[in-house]
Amino acid sequence: MIPRYASQEMSELFTDEARMGLWMEIELLALEGLAATGAVPDAYALAARERAPAITPDFVKAVEERERTTNHDLAAFLDILQDAIGPPEGAWIHFGLTSSDIVDTAQCLTLTRAVDLLLGASSHLVGVLQDRAIGLANTPMAGRTHGIHAEPTTFGAKLALWCLQADRDRKRLKNARDNIAVGKMSGAVGTYSNVDPAVEDYVCRSLGLVPTPATQVVARDRHAELLWACASASASVESFATEVRHLQRTEVAEVEEPFSSGQKGSSAMPHKRNPVVSERLCGLARVVRGYLSAGLENVALWHERDISHSSAERIVLPDALQLTYYLLDTMASIIEGMKVHADRMLKNLEGSGGLMFSQPVLLALVRAGMSRDSAYRIVQRDAHSALETGRTLRETLEGDADVPLGPDVLADAFSLDLALRNVNHVIDAARSIER
């Protein structure tokens, strides 16, 4: 992950020091677990922990140097760790275990902690959307389908629907966290042939993980589910950002993402205030979706395991989690700080000359006894005529002898208040979400 999109708190979870620190803690816990079963003296576990080295850049460098010989990162780590602890205790490090016992358990713990950060960012986005939806509940605007004016809505209702979607993403992340918060210490093919299951239970419970049956590796459907949750949350952010981009177009001018003091929108044109952050989020969401493909490919491993997943995961898991955090956090900043031009929203809504009220007119004609198709054809004809002549739809309808509707009925059909009388049903759904 390039630093441009990485937060310090998330990045620190994926450093070499953090990874090897977890490896060492798991090895020490496994030795304590062995001692708890009576396989080794308690004093061995105590001495190993007392003499365990600090995981410093120099330690990492020593492991990297050793790996040039072993061509195996965990084996190189064990050589350095066992030398640092010394005999006889060091010889019992990694007793009865296989590399994936350590690597997969540590990775699952790292991913669990990373998802906790994602859940915090997700909850913040939900809260920001909830607040702005409630605050803008009665700000009318044109609803659009296919990019064309459809019927009136409110900007608060739009944000309320985003809030509900963001909350669903949060639930998906929570489910993914539950399924990735596991560990295994069951040996080479998962049969506990050389290690007591009690060791696995001790290690996992100490780390806050759930012991899980496995082959040599933790099943990769769990990791794929996590990547799907990240991809889903990122897709939601992309949909929100795309709408901001559309609404910020000069011809629409209803919303603007935050534009800071001193910021430049263009190197050539000083007047420009471009939705560059929203555009950035759309681009990064594509990257996260791409990582999901690799995660799904990693599910099918040979027999009890192969290592084809490992190289891909070194890239896709840290990057996907860090990018998802950036997407969620940045989208919340956009929502929180964006300018909403309510006057422009109302002007755009009124600019279609009442065409957005064609359905209430249609329904009024049906209530007056006309067949639906006949009513549809009359309103369609008058709407197209209004569009071509520049007259309002109401004026056109009032001059049409085929329209048997009185002034009061037409007034109700063209009432913005009546069109939006139930919009708070959408707002209330977002209001009910727990922060």
One DSSP character per residue, 279-346 reads HHHHHHHHHHHHHHHHHHHTT--STT--SHHHHHHHHHHHHHHHHHHHHHHHHHHHHHH-EE-HHHHH
Do both 279 and 395 map to the same domain? no
Looking at 79, 95, 111, the residue that finishes a domain is 95
Q: Are the C-beta atoms of 187 and 101 separated by less than 8 Å? A: yes
From residue 109, alpha-carbon distances to 177, 178, 313 in Å are 10, 11, 15
CATH number of the structural domain spanning residue 138: 1.20.200.10
Average pLDDT, the chain: 97
Burial (CB count <10 Å: 0-12, 13-18, 19+), residue 158: buried
When pLDDT is averaged across residues 226-231 and rounded to a whole number, the result is 98
Total domains in the fold of the chain: 3
CATH number of the structural domain spanning residue 7: 1.10.275.10
**Which pLDDT does position 349 carry in this prediction?**
97
**Which of 37-41, 211-215, 226-230, 270-274 is predicted least confidently?**
270-274
Which residues are identified as catalytic? 146, 266
251 lies in a domain?
Answer: yes
When pLDDT is averaged across residues 327-336 and rounded to a whole number, the result is 98
CATH number of the structural domain spanning residue 380: 1.10.40.30
The CB-side HSE value for 84 (13 A sphere, CA atoms) comes to 20
The structure's pTM equals 0.95
Residue of 242, 207, 10 whose CA lies nearest to 108: 207
pLDDT for 374-393, tens place per residue? 999 999 999 999 999 999 99
389 lies in a domain?
Answer: yes
SS3 state of residue 13: helix
Of the chain, the end-to-end C-alpha distance in Å amounts to: 30
> Is residue 309 left, alpha or beta, with left meaning phi > 0 and alpha meaning psi from -120 to 50?
alpha
The CB-side HSE value for 46 (13 A sphere, CA atoms) comes to 3
**Which pLDDT does position 435 carry in this prediction?**
85
pLDDT for 400-421, tens place per residue? 999 999 999 999 999 999 999 9
Do both 91 and 223 map to the same domain? no
The domain of 316 spans 103-183+216-258+270-352
325 lies in a domain?
Answer: yes
pLDDT for 230-272, tens place per residue? 999 999 999 999 999 999 999 999 999 999 889 888 889 999 9
222 lies in a domain?
Answer: yes
Do both 59 and 17 map to the same domain? yes
